[in-house]
């Protein structure tokens, strides 16, 4: 039987590369999780009923765009809640 090993790793914020918004005019590093909702047709679903499917997405809290590529952020630019 396989055993799982759990370890607590201490990570400093200075060691992270923060994601920035992909909108060059925004440059925010704060994102929220939102959902797209699709309807899976009952014609395709084995149950014969329409089904709502949630698709999680991450979006910028300021402008609504997706995150861009990781970039280093100066310590004073990081906003802590």
At 10-68, the pLDDT tens digits run 888 888 888 888 888 888 889 999 888 999 999 998 999 999 999 888 889 998 887 76
d(CA 17, CA 71): 6
Report the pLDDT value the prediction gives residue 1, as an integer from 0 to 100.
55
**Rounded Cα distance, 71 and 15, in Å:** 12
* 60 CB-side CA count, 13 A: 19
């Amino acid at each position: 039987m396989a055993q799982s090993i759990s370890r607590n790793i201490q990570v400093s914020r200075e060691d992270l590369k923060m994601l920035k918004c992909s909108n060059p005019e925004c440059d925010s590093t704060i994102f929220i999780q939102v959902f797209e909702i699709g309807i899976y047709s009952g014609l395709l679903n084995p149950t014969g009923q329409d089904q709502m499917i949630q698709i999680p997405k991450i979006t910028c809290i300021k402008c609504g765009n997706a995150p861009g590529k990781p970039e280093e952020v100066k310590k004073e630019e990081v906003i802590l809640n």
